[in-house]
Amino acid sequence: MTGAQESVLSNVSGDAFHAAAWMEARKIPSLRFVGPFGDPKSVFKRGQVVRIPKGTRISRPTFPGDREIVAGRTYSVILNDVYAGYVDPRDRSVVQPRLLWAGTGGYWCYADPNDVEVV
């Protein structure tokens, strides 16, 4: 094994440790997508219609009011983009993957792909 291969393997195992600790701290028994593990881009594609179930947490970073809401009803949206998750190398925090779509008024909305249903 080369030094580069050992470095990649070390990063992956370190990321797995941090992702597992993140899940344990939140008492989450399992997730399909967590940090860099699982590939949301293999399931979700730009232009795809997905269902946002009632109760899903939605982030709206460009919205002038509430930046995070909970969906009050189930509705369908057309995805604009899919972002992979990662473990931040600076503080080893887990950043979940996100699905992006244009919400009401053209404000961007994000949700965790673990909470979204394929139509």
Entry pTM: 0.84
- Averaged over 8-29, what is the pLDDT? 86
Q: How high is the pLDDT of residue 12?
A: 83
Quote the pLDDT of residue 16.
93
List strand residue ranges (DSSP E) for the chain, in order: 49-52, 57-59, 68-70, 75-78, 81-83, 86-87, 94-95, 98-102, 108-111, 117-118
Per-residue pLDDT tens digits for 23-63: 999 999 999 999 999 999 999 999 999 999 999 999 998 87
What tens digit of pLDDT does each residue of 78-106 get? Answer: 999 999 999 998 999 999 999 999 998 88
Q: How many structural domains comprise the chain?
A: 1
Q: What is the pLDDT of residue 20?
A: 94
pLDDT score of 105: 85
Structural domain of 9: 3-118
Handedness of CA 73, 78, 81, 84 (dihedral sign): positive
Name the H helices within the chain: 3-25
Between 56 and 66, the more confident residue is: 56
